[in-house]
Amino acid sequence: MTVRWGLIGASTIARQFVINAIRAQGDGEVVAVMSSSPERANTYAGENGIPRGVSALADLLGAGVDAVYISTTNELHLEQALAAIEAGKHVLCEKPLALTSADARKMVAAANAAGVVLGTNHHLRNAGAHRAMREAIAAGRIGKPIAARVFHSVFLPENLQGWRISRPEAGGGVVLDITVHDADTLRFVLGDDPVEISAFTQSVGMAGSGLEDGAMCIWRFKSGVIAQSHEGFTTKFAGTGFEVHGSEGSLFATNVMTQKPVGSVLLRTGAGEEELSFDREDLYARSLRQFHAAIRGEGRPSATGEDGVWSLAAAEAALQSAKSGKAVTIDPKLGSAA
Ligand code: NDP
């Protein structure tokens, strides 16, 4: 059975990665795209070989689609996801799922009630590097995990210096953009959940309107592991990385907080140093493959709706901490969607 996809949002991420990832599936087809502007919908459809461009959500949902991929600005995800779920469509939604974890929980509840698949497009847990680290930790290769460090401060490309740095109401800012990914990747690699976070944020000149363009977070996990993460839009030369240090060894991953299947992972123990080998499958293609399998009833999306609630609850807590100057408890059940 072919999965017929409708794109909600004529976005950069769909054009750069997700349309190709859908088409990389033997059973995936993009049948329509929706933009708020009819002109942009048609131009985008033409440029990307998509049969239909529409400007009303009802038209997209009525275009014979089985699943939708939502990659509009963040304030629109909730309403669009709920409408798609109500129409019986499976939903792969970009992060953050919504502007609050309470709203994200509404999406999860609606998808569960409707019996459709809801996934969060946290691409990083699909990277071979992160899966190799998770497996090494789970296999006890670093002994008992003690601490982690995430280096995820980048330079926001000029073509993306729009709503992320100017529109708080659209969910701009580095915390909703990048800290959510770090939350998800830490949870995935460590196989653990964060319980508390303390954050400092800054605005060094790129972001306006009260938005932050840099953040440093300190995390505590259920197991007692502590972590630090650095997210930024303004550092051109920082590079990215992910380290986990345990009682018997350390993992050093370099150039792995990225959209491409690149980077390296070094394991250092008493026995010496070993480069871990891992597959180089496209991150988004793997995400789509897992999503298609979940539609067939085989397993779950690589990041579920619940995972999206977790990452948003963590980002929310980071923003509260930055504002209050106090450590904040992370509890995805807070702000229940009741
Ligand atoms: P874009 O800014 O490219 O697109 C977002 C929206 O902006 C589009 O839906 C579109 O509205 C509007 N837009 C785009 N281009 C134009 C234009 N030239 N003129 C006017 N409006 C325009 O966003 P991104 O692709 O960077 O991000 C979209 C979502 O995906 C966000 O939720 C983001 O957090 C997430 N994301 C996730 C990534 C991941 O790897 N998981 C990576 C990057 C982003 P309309 O649809 O109405 O035309």
Please tell me whether residues 96 and 188 are part of one structural domain.
no
Mean pLDDT of all residues in the chain?
Answer: 97
Please tell me whether residues 87 and 142 are part of one structural domain.
no
The boundaries of the domain holding residue 217 are 124-280+312-329
Please tell me whether residues 119 and 250 are part of one structural domain.
no
For position 129, what pLDDT does the model report? 98
| Domain contains 337 | no
Number of structural domains found in the chain: 2
Q: Which of 54, 73, 291, 312 to mutate to test the pocket of ligand 1 (most atoms within 8 A of CB)?
A: 73
Please tell me whether residues 290 and 213 are part of one structural domain.
no
Please tell me whether residues 8 and 134 are part of one structural domain.
no
For position 338, what pLDDT does the model report? 33
Please tell me whether residues 174 and 266 are part of one structural domain.
yes
Please tell me whether residues 61 and 198 are part of one structural domain.
no
Please tell me whether residues 140 and 276 are part of one structural domain.
yes
The set of protein residues with a Cβ atom below 6 angstroms from ligand 1 is: 9-13, 35-37, 40, 71-74, 94-95, 121, 123, 160, 162, 177, 259
Q: How far is CA 138 from CA 135, 142, 177, 299, in A?
A: 5, 9, 28, 20
Helix crossing, 77-86 with 101-114: angle to 10°?
10
Q: Which atom of ligand 1 approaches the CA of 13 most closely?
A: 25
- pTM (2 decimals)? 0.97
Which residues of the chain fall below pLDDT 50?
A: 334-338
Domain CATH number, residue 152 = 3.30.360.10
Please tell me whether residues 172 and 79 are part of one structural domain.
no
Q: Which of 7, 8, 12 to mutate to test the pocket of ligand 1 (most atoms within 8 A of CB)?
A: 12
For position 1, what pLDDT does the model report? 87
| Domain contains 335 | no
Please tell me whether residues 62 and 138 are part of one structural domain.
no
Q: Which of 13, 48, 78, 152 to mutate to test the pocket of ligand 1 (most atoms within 8 A of CB)?
A: 13
Residue 218 contacts residue 228 (beta carbons within 8 Å)? yes
| Domain contains 338 | no
- Which residue, 73, 260, 258, 236, is CA-closest to 165? 73
Render pLDDT for 254-290 as a digit per residue (tens, 0 to 9): 999 999 999 999 999 999 999 999 999 999 999 999 9
Residue 96 contacts residue 176 (beta carbons within 8 Å)? yes
